[in-house]
A and B are shown apart, each in its own frame.
Chain A
Amino acid sequence: MIEPAAASTQLSTAVIAEEKRLRNTRYGLLAPGILTIFIIGIMPLSIVLVYSFLKPGDFGGVTWELSFKAYVQLLFEEDIFDETLSFTTDYLEIFFRSVSLGLFTTIACLLVGFPTAYFIATQPPARRNAWLFLITIPFWTNLLIRTYAMLLILRDQGVINLSLIEIGLIDRALPLLYTDFAVGLGLVYAYLPFMVLPIFASLEKLDFRLVEAGYDLYATRFKVLKRIIIPLSKPGIAAGCILVLIPSLGAFITPALLGGGKSLMIGNLINLQFGQARNWPFGSAIALVLMVLVMLSLLAYLRYGARRGGPAHG
């Protein structure tokens, strides 16, 4: 007979061995994911980080000399002749413009996307899939081509202007193209599916009996939306906003084509530094600052969410 104490030691050794085996299995399963993130995420990011602290090469690339000039350049302008620094808001304006446009895009996507997602979620299951399929159709075509299509619609001889002139509402073409409006519209068009899909996923899980319970307890349609549907789909709304805001902050095809390069966005600025301007360290620095800003706002959101008792149930 084994002593009880010995038996329990034996048992706990077995339990520990089993846990270790399970842990190893888990790491084994995670390995491809970790490797991918490392190769296509962390490594390029490290290169960008290193480059931002170097000097630009004459024909692009970098020269291996430590320099903080790329970051200084964001806020200060260097005089060409005497190398003195003076404060400039040029790049801050670009940041501000990009953030405003990003926020506008997010809000517009939310206003259009939420009702769309709600509509799809309340369809019978068979028809839901058809609607979701339609939502994903734009993904079949390259963003560049879709943006050119938008350009054809908005230009002076485009569908909108020509038909408005035809029915006599206007005499001359409206200046639609190459405006902030055009850029906003293009961004909303490009990122709308990223808003619709996560909100749909949240609403699909929503128990519509709760909506009935709301009506039963004297809540009008608007109150039910505000007090029940929106709080319960908050995880989807948050995910959608993040998925739209982040890429629209860094977008460069849409602003370049539909904004006509008149008003620079961060994405275009970065693109420019790696292209014509041949200032890779500056481009890297802008990219990193943008990333840090996004991460800080996400952290702020998470802390706000945590204080409010965590993202709502979904």
Chain B
Amino acid sequence: MPEQTAEAAIDVRNTSKIYGRDRETGVVALDQVSLAIRDNEFFTLLGPSGCGKTTLLRLIAGFEQPTEGEILLFGEHLEGLPPYKRPVNTVFQHYALFPHMTVAENISFGLEMLEKPAAEIKPVVDEVLGLVQMQDLAERKTDQLSGGQQQRVALARALAPRPKVLLLDEPLSALDFKLRKEMQVELKRLQHETGITFIFVTHDQEEALAMSDRVAVMRDGLILQVGDPNEIYDRPAKRFVADFIGDINILRARIQNRDGTRARVKLEAGYEGEAGLPTDSQDLGDEVSVAIRPEQLSFVGGAIEADLSGSIQHVSYFGSGFDYEILMPSGETLTLQLQNRGADQHDYAIGDEVHIAIGSNSMQILSD
């Protein structure tokens, strides 16, 4: 265990942040959170606004002090260290570029404050400008830049002092869709090239899945689940995680028998099969919720192969595919997603009675 903690880039131990006098009267922004972020990892804190993700980031940066617990950076205690003594830099949500300085001056600021000699600063500034492809705009004032360019300067400025950990506070939220997609790829590339640990905060689940090595899903100051994007998406542990990330069907079911990490369940809608159990399953009763992703369902021809059946209530088309809303005899509705494969596919219409198969290993039992 001790070796493992020494390796962690950031080790958050039982950390709480309470605004106000105490737990009862104040606001608990972060509630006894423990989290180890590995070196050279692209780690994402994902959650709705007010979940505590930005608070956690600010605690790591040093803008706020934890009420309880401690945070270690590569094994060193950060307690009491002001932000300017932490080898950690932040890319702020609204960039916070210095408006009275040029792009190059913004980027060299951190290095100047570290009292690096001028001869050392210049090549680093050029290097990071190259890294974010902004060499041509070095002498511009920052208010003459577009949003995407400002974003790149903010990144370059935070990367220039070579922090041990880079914190990114929803840096893409102010960009339009296309630019956001581009910057996602760019950020991933930068993380790879620099080898710096990135801690990325976002409320956008797609962004989190696309970029991260690991994701922590947060709500109400708690971390609900930590895992790689696959794990989070395919085996959500909690109802909130399942609901927050992507579309999902949540059906009522009853556990027949348990076997370690899996259980045999009987859906109220009729089907009986294997489902994954969450880690804290010992607290679960026999009445449970089971999650199935819409794309794990498919239409089948006859009642014999079918796991479930129902009638189509609604069809929505979204370009790359279709969502079918199906009402089952149990009274529950199910969403089934089909890829758009061309003109041969319009066999299903509202009112049709359909038979549905559930993909293997696609059921996951949720805890609340």
Contacts and interface: CB of A to CB of B under 8 A. Distances in A.
Contacts of B161: 217-218
Nearest to A213: B96
A144 interface: no
Interface string B101-131: 0000000011001100000000000000000
A267 B84 CA distance: 50
A18 interface: no
Interface stretch (B68-76, B87-95, B293-301, B314-322): B87-95
Interface residues of A, number: 19
Q: Interface extent on B, as a size class?
A: 20 to 34
Nearest to B87: A218
Interface-centre pick from B82, B94, B96, B161 (highest chain A CB count, 10 A) = B96
A209 B96 contact: yes
A216 B89 contact: yes
A212 B57 CA distance: 13
Interface stretch (A97-105, A175-183, A224-232, A282-290): A224-232
Contacts of A219: 84, 109, 113
Interface string A193-211: 0000000000000010110
Interface-centre pick from B62, B97, B109 (highest chain A CB count, 10 A) = B109
Interface string A118-143: 00000000000000000000000000
Given A217-B110, A219-B109, A228 B92 contact: no
B44 to A, nearest CB: 20
Interface-centre pick from A218, A220, A228, A232 (highest chain B CB count, 10 A) = A218
A218 B98 contact: no
Contacts of B89: 216-217
Contacts of B109: 214, 217, 219, 227
A161 B207 CA distance: 71
A217 B113 contact: yes
A108 B84 CA distance: 31
A313 B99 CA distance: 7
B92 A209 contact: yes
B83 interface: yes
A212 B63 contact: yes
Nearest to B157: A217
What DSSP secondary structure best describes chain A's contact surface? Answer: helix
Nearest to B94: A209
B99 A216 contact: no
B56 interface: no
A213 B99 contact: no
A210 B110 contact: no
A312 interface: yes
A12 B342 CA distance: 54
B61 interface: yes
A223 B83 CA distance: 13
Contacts of A214: 98, 109
Contacts of A212: 63, 83, 92, 96
A228 B83 CA distance: 16
A276 to B, nearest CB: 52
Contact of A215 (B84, B99, B114, B158): B84
Contact of B61 (A209, A216, A227, A313): A216
Nearest to A219: B113
A313 B97 CA distance: 13
A209 B97 CA distance: 9
Given A217-B157, A218-B161, A219-B109, A207 B96 contact: yes
Contacts of B100: 231-232, 312-313
A214 B113 CA distance: 9
Contacts of B96: 207, 209-210, 212-213
Nearest to A207: B96
Given A212-B63, A215-B63, A219-B109, A232 B99 contact: yes
A215 B82 contact: yes
A230 to B, nearest CB: 10
Contacts of B157: 217
Contacts of B82: 215
Interface in A213-252: 213-220, 223, 227-228, 231-232
A214 B100 CA distance: 13
B84 A220 contact: yes
Contact of B114 (A218, A227, A228, A232): A218
Given A217-B157, A218-B161, A220-B84, A210 B113 contact: no
A184 B89 CA distance: 47
Nearest to A234: B100
A231 B100 CA distance: 7
Interface string B208-249: 000000000000000000000000000000000000000000
Nearest to B160: A217
Contacts of A223: 113
Nearest to B83: A215
A227 B61 CA distance: 21
Nearest to A312: B100
Contacts of B94: 209
A223 B110 CA distance: 11
Contacts of B97: 213
Nearest to B115: A218
B90 A213 contact: yes
Nearest to B110: A217
Contacts of A213: 90, 92, 96-98
Contacts of A209: 92, 94, 96
A209 B61 CA distance: 13
Contacts of A217: 84, 89, 109-110, 113, 157-158, 161
Interface of A: 207, 209-210, 212-220, 223, 227-228, 231-232, 312-313
Given A209-B96, A213-B97, A313-B143, 9 more contacts: A209-B94, A213-B96, A213-B98, A216-B83, A216-B90, A217-B89, A217-B110, A218-B85, A228-B98
12 contacts: A210-B96, A210-B99, A213-B90, A213-B92, A213-B98, A214-B98, A215-B84, A217-B89, A219-B84, A227-B109, A232-B99, A312-B100
In the A-B complex, the 6 residue pairs with the closest CB atoms: A217-B110, A218-B113, A213-B96, A215-B83, A209-B96, A313-B99
